[in-house]
Amino acid sequence: MIQVETNTIKQKVADHLNHEINTIVAPVINIKGLYKSFGKNTDILKGVDLTVKKGENLVVLGKSGSGKSVLIKCLVGLVNADKGELKVFDTDITNLDSQQLNAIRVRIGFLFQNSALYDSMTVRENLLFPLKRHSKKITAKEAERSVNEALESVGLKEAIDKMPSELSGGMRKRVGLARTLILRPEIILYDEPTTGLDTITSREISELILSIQKKYKTTSIIITHDMACAKLTGDRLVILKDGVMVAEGSYASLESSDDAWVRSFFI
């Protein structure tokens, strides 16, 4: 009797551990056969297959026009895919209505290349905007606390009452990231997070991306041409060429690839 109970307990423990392992490694984003074109003879994505695991920072490399930005815009429904399966949180977003899609979007943060701040609003007002839109029941005190916490996470608490025009490029990126964090997204999509910044500021933003990953356990896709950013932030790298994923691996493995075209990114 005791032996039977012991075996039952062991099986339950094993089942629990297997469930936990599967949960950890299960992809948060799963893309299969994704196609997108804009008019005739303008194929941008040509059957992209891609998975991103929970808590992973995935860097997507590729030359201009290779479809990198279109890929992440498809992930939030800013661009509609022509064909393929696009699962986020195990839900195929290609078949969702606007209300269902918005429920997914709230769980995804998007840092635009130009930060996309409202120039007529202060930093405080820029951060309050998504809270007021998506958190209807939040009190003024709770909203203020969320704003301060988000700015503190990016090291810009002192800029709360400044206008975007008073901020440097690096500060605008940080505020854009703070606004992205305000709703505590599970996924963050970074579109060229270091573009237009000097070397020192670019490294600071890259280190901030890593800090956010560790603090908030976020899953991220990072679109970049900045190889220093890719090396510092990427758990895994993929390379997009003519709308197709042609290489995948660690920074070190791709840097020493047998493919000269792949190696050319690292020169």
Among 20-34, 139-153, 186-200, 215-229, the range scoring the smallest mean pLDDT is 20-34
Region 169-195 average pLDDT: 93
Q: What does the domain layout of the chain look like in residue ranges?
A: 53-79+105-266
C-alpha distances in Å from residue 28, one per residue of 31, 81, 91, 205, 239: 10, 19, 10, 24, 20
Q: What is the pLDDT of residue 267?
A: 85
C-alpha distances in Å from residue 160, one per residue of 113, 114, 119, 157: 21, 19, 14, 6
Contact status, residue 175 vs residue 154, Cβ threshold 8 Å: yes
100-114 pLDDT tens trace: 999 999 999 999 887
pLDDT category at 22 given cuts 50, 70, 90 is very low
| pLDDT at position 136 over 80 | no
71-128 pLDDT tens trace: 999 999 899 999 999 999 999 999 899 999 999 999 999 998 877 899 999 999 999 9
Fold of 53-79+105-266: Rossmann fold (3.40.50)
